[in-house]
């Protein structure tokens, strides 16, 4: 994902996701740890954005490293960590070239972060970097958008309009490449004026079997695949799929 993505959106990102309960996300992770009787102290959170998925884990006593390619998002994450007196280490890195300061007990990635890796070769490279960054027996827990969600989203236009901002999302889906493209045009109030920005985001729709094959080829054992935030298998209408893999 190019660094330019989220450059302007970083200022309003937390406003847009204000309705998400990230404490519940952390609860789900801890339920998964109990399910596999995993002992975890050190966690890396890939594509951490403004830290919404990293900070709740740090607040629960884990040693957390947040990794993201977008400096503007990381600046917000560091600011929130300072305000909450949380010692999270935030690293500006492309996850394809991941270099962590120590081996992790668990590595996570949420919010479609891995869908932004739009070639199979690059995704396999990420999986290899994750594998090499984990301790033996370490867990890799991540979610991805389901193919059905992405392919059905093409051609939509969505608006957000309030006193401080106006946002327009225009989406299209390339069925030949399985790429979902989101063009975001925003007008954000700065003093008495509105600043315009345009960002383009692209996500790859991977089939579940592809992901499982990539994990196995990397050397992971696949422990489970779940319908998002549950312990049930994915259904035909599943929008978010969670994968739980373990390093041998």
Task: Give the pLDDT confidence score for residue 1 in this predicted structure.
Answer: 46
Cα→Cα distances 191→79, 182, 186, 199, Å: 22, 28, 16, 22
User: Does residue 76 form part of some domain?
Assistant: yes
Distance CA 210, CA 118 (A): 13
Task: Give the pLDDT confidence score for residue 192 in this predicted structure.
Answer: 84
Task: Give the pLDDT confidence score for residue 2 in this predicted structure.
Answer: 46
Looking at the fold, whether 135 and 235 belong to one and the same domain comes out as yes
Looking at the fold, whether 23 and 100 belong to one and the same domain comes out as yes
Task: Give the pLDDT confidence score for residue 164 in this predicted structure.
Answer: 85
User: Does residue 109 form part of some domain?
Assistant: yes
Per DSSP, helices labelled H in 89-207 are 120-133, 147-153
Task: Give the pLDDT confidence score for residue 154 in this predicted structure.
Answer: 65
Looking at the fold, whether 137 and 220 belong to one and the same domain comes out as yes
CATH code (residue 156)? 2.20.25.110
Looking at the fold, whether 210 and 177 belong to one and the same domain comes out as no
pTM: 0.93
Looking at the fold, whether 172 and 51 belong to one and the same domain comes out as no
pLDDT digits over 127-165, tens only? 999 999 999 999 999 999 987 676 776 678 888 888 888
User: Does residue 45 form part of some domain?
Assistant: yes
DSSP annotation of 230 reads S
- Average the pLDDT over 58-75 and give the result: 97
Looking at the fold, whether 161 and 222 belong to one and the same domain comes out as no
User: Does residue 2 form part of some domain?
Assistant: no
Distance CA 139, CA 116 (A): 21
Task: Give the pLDDT confidence score for residue 108 in this predicted structure.
Answer: 98
- Average the pLDDT over 102-129 and give the result: 97
Kindly tell me the burial class for residue 187, based on how many C-beta atoms sit within 10 Å of its own C-beta (0-12, 13-18, 19 or more).
Answer: middle
Residue 123 belongs to domain spanning: 9-146+206-247
Looking at the fold, whether 239 and 118 belong to one and the same domain comes out as yes
Looking at the fold, whether 59 and 163 belong to one and the same domain comes out as no
Q: Does pLDDT of 8 surpass 80? A: no
Residues 138, 107 contacting (CB under 8 angstroms): yes
CATH code (residue 74)? 3.40.50.150
User: Does residue 166 form part of some domain?
Assistant: yes
Task: Give the pLDDT confidence score for residue 5 in this predicted structure.
Answer: 59
User: Does residue 219 form part of some domain?
Assistant: yes
User: Does residue 85 form part of some domain?
Assistant: yes
Q: Does pLDDT of 212 surpass 80? A: yes
Looking at the fold, whether 38 and 136 belong to one and the same domain comes out as yes
Q: Give the count of domains, the chain.
A: 2
Residues 226, 232 contacting (CB under 8 angstroms): yes
Looking at the fold, whether 198 and 210 belong to one and the same domain comes out as no
């Amino acid at each position: 994902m190019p660094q330019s993505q989220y450059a302007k959106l970083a200022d309003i990102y937390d406003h847009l996701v204000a309705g998400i309960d990230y404490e519940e996300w952390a609860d789900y992770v801890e339920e998964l740890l109990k399910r596999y009787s995993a002992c975890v102290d050190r966690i890396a959170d890939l594509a951490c954005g403004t830290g919404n998925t990293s900070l709740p884990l740090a607040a629960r006593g884990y040693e957390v490293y947040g990794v993201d390619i977008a400096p503007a998002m990381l600046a917000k994450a560091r600011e929130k960590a300072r305000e909450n007196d949380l010692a999270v280490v935030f690293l500006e890195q492309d996850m394809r070239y991941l270099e962590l300061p120590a081996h992790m007990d668990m590595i996570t990635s949420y919010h479609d972060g891995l869908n932004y890796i739009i070639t199979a070769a690059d995704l396999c490279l990420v999986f290899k970097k994750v594998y090499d960054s984990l301790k033996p027996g370490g867990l890799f827990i991540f979610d991805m958008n389901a193919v059905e969600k992405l392919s059905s989203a093409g051609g939509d236009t969505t608006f957000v309009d309030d006193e401080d901002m106006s946002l327009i999302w225009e989406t299209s889906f390339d069925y030949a490449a399985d790429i979902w493209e989101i063009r975001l045009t925003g007008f954000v109030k700065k003093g008495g004026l509105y600043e315009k920005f345009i960002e383009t985001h692209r996500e790859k729709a991977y089939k579940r079997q592809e992901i499982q094959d990539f994990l196995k080829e990397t050397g992971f054992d696949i422990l489970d695949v779940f319908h998002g935030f549950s312990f049930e298998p994915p259904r035909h209408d599943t929008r978010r799929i969670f994968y739980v893999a373990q390093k041998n």
